[in-house]
């Protein structure tokens, strides 16, 4: 009798282990950001099952925002760190989407509240800081977000229009601050991008930017 009970228990355990595995957020900052980016992409696909091809602009910017936040842990934006997160996304994707990724939605929201923050967003009070921050974020998104979504292309065109409008004021402001070479200007742009990345959802931040400067 005892052996039969044990056999039944082992069989039940085997059946339980066949389902999607549990997930937890990694401690490593690159893996944690990459995991949440994959979860964000999976959530966007689930919410728009009819969508074919690339996700829309808002979804794409939510996904890349995790990489941006990982790159903004210091004073200067680290493109190397952002690139590392994007690379890890591809490596982790299958293991996450084949598991209970839904259980990570709330932990990711708690770990990265800025990604879904859409209200109470304010640009830097100093005009030049706002100009440089908007320019830097718009430039980064145009270069990194890849999508065939027609609405996204319209947004990119508006970003480029804003950048052209800001070229003169930013050039003058950078020179006034002693940043006359590439290294100096890049340093200030990286600092500005860090501040903008932490403000809230990137799509909402850029709506404010283009509404003010485009």
**Residues 40 and 96 grouped into a single domain:** yes
Q: How many CB atoms lie within 10 A of CB 148?
A: 8
Domain boundary among 93, 116, 139: 116
CA-based angle 85:87:103, to the nearest 5? 60
**Residues 37 and 112 grouped into a single domain:** yes
Look at residue 74 and tell me if it is in a domain: yes
**Residues 192 and 107 grouped into a single domain:** no
Look at residue 2 and tell me if it is in a domain: no
**Residues 147 and 191 grouped into a single domain:** yes
**Average pLDDT of the chain, as a whole number:** 88
Give whole-number Cα distances, 53 to 28, 35, 96, 102, 166, in Å.
31, 21, 20, 22, 33
Q: How many CB atoms lie within 10 A of CB 16?
A: 8
Q: Is the pLDDT of residue 4 over 70?
A: no
Dist. CA 133–CA 125, nearest whole Å: 11
Domain boundary among 116, 148, 164: 116
**Residues 132 and 103 grouped into a single domain:** no
Q: Residue 10 — very low, low, confident or very high, per pLDDT cuts 50/70/90?
A: very low
**Residues 102 and 144 grouped into a single domain:** no
Q: Total structural domains in the chain? A: 2
**Residues 33 and 92 grouped into a single domain:** yes
Domain boundary among 88, 116, 144: 116
Look at residue 7 and tell me if it is in a domain: no
Its domain, for residue 101, covers: 20-116
Decide if 174 contacts 188 (C-beta within 8 A): yes
**Residues 112 and 132 grouped into a single domain:** no
| Dihedral over alpha carbons 105, 107, 109, 112 (to 10 degrees) | -130
DSSP 60-113: HHHHHHHHHHHTTSSSS--HHHHHHHHHHHHHHHHHHHTS-GGGGHHHHHHH-G
**Residues 27 and 103 grouped into a single domain:** yes
The string of pLDDT tens digits covering residues 137-166 is: 999 999 998 888 888 889 999 999 999 999
Mean pLDDT of 103-127: 96
**Residues 181 and 135 grouped into a single domain:** yes
**Residues 112 and 131 grouped into a single domain:** no
| pTM given for the model | 0.86
């Amino acid at each position: 009798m005892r052996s039969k009970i044990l056999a039944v228990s082992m069989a039940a355990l085997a059946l339980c282990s066949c389902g999607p595995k549990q997930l937890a957020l990694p401690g490593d900052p690159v893996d944690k950001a990459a995991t949440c980016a994959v979860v964000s992409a999976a959530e966007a696909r689930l919410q728009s099952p009819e969508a074919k091809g690339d996700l829309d602009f808002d979804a794409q910017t939510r996904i890349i925002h995790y990489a941006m936040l990982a790159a903004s842990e210091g004073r200067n934006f680290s493109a190397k760190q952002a690139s590392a997160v994007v690379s890890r996304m591809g490596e982790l994707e299958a293991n996450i989407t084949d598991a209970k990724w839904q259980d990570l939605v709330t932990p990711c929201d708690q770990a990265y509240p800025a990604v879904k923050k859409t209200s109470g967003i304010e640009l830097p009070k100093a005009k030049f800081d706002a100009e440089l921050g908007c320019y830097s974020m718009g430039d980064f998104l145009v270069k990194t977000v890849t999508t065939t979504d027609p609405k996204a292309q319209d947004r990119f065109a508006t970003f480029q229009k804003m950048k052209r409008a800001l070229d003169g004021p930013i050039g003058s402001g950078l020179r006034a601050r002693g940043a006359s070479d590439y290294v100096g200007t890049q340093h200030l742009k990286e600092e500005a991008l860090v501040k903008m990345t932490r403000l809230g959802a990137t799509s909402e931040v850029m709506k404010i930017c283009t509404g003010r400067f485009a």
